[in-house]
Amino acid sequence: VQLQASGGGLVQAGGSLRLSCAASGFTLDYYAIGWFRQAPGKEREGVSCISSSGGSTYYADSVKGRFTISRDNAKNTVYLQMNSLKPEDTAVYYCAAENTIVVVTTCRRNEYDYWGQGTLDTVSS
């Protein structure tokens, strides 16, 4: 199980970025996917998670109304559209997969077993 996160970069406050999480060696169809982030000196936190069907999603309060998670199972990819970015969104973003979650009601790192490498997003003020 390999996950590849991409799309990070440097953006000004108020700008947008779209992160992609692509799977290789397996199909994402049966996996819930989560996006997590870790800022310097802070613990890794759940940002947004989506069920395998896309029928249930979770957003952290800090990103509600600004971030949108979606998936394209045909492309074996999950996206995180991030709008109205703030400097406090600066972090390394990770995607993770788990095939035992049917309905997403939370987005906790200990619920996910398979992790990709992170992609750095920097939001300047």
What's the confidence (pLDDT) of residue 1?
Answer: 75
Instruction: List, in sequence order, every beta strand (DSSP E) within 1-125.
Output: 2-6, 10-12, 17-24, 32-38, 45-50, 57-59, 67-72, 77-82, 91-98, 114-115, 119-124
For every residue of 4-15, DSSP letters joined together read EEE---EEETT-
What's the confidence (pLDDT) of residue 111?
Answer: 96
Q: Percentage of the chain surpassing pLDDT 70? A: 100
What's the confidence (pLDDT) of residue 53?
Answer: 92
Q: CB–CB of 47/67 below 8 Å?
A: yes
Nearest to 82 by CA among 53, 30, 122: 122
What are the pLDDT digits (tens) for 12-29? 999 999 999 999 988 999
What tokens does 124 get? 């300047």
What's the confidence (pLDDT) of residue 6?
Answer: 96
Q: How many CB atoms lie within 10 A of CB 76?
A: 15
What's the confidence (pLDDT) of residue 84?
Answer: 98
What are the pLDDT digits (tens) for 60-118? 999 999 999 999 989 999 999 999 999 999 999 999 999 998 899 999 999 999 999 99
What's the confidence (pLDDT) of residue 112?
Answer: 96
CA dihedral (32, 65, 105, 55) positive or negative: negative
What's the confidence (pLDDT) of residue 36?
Answer: 98
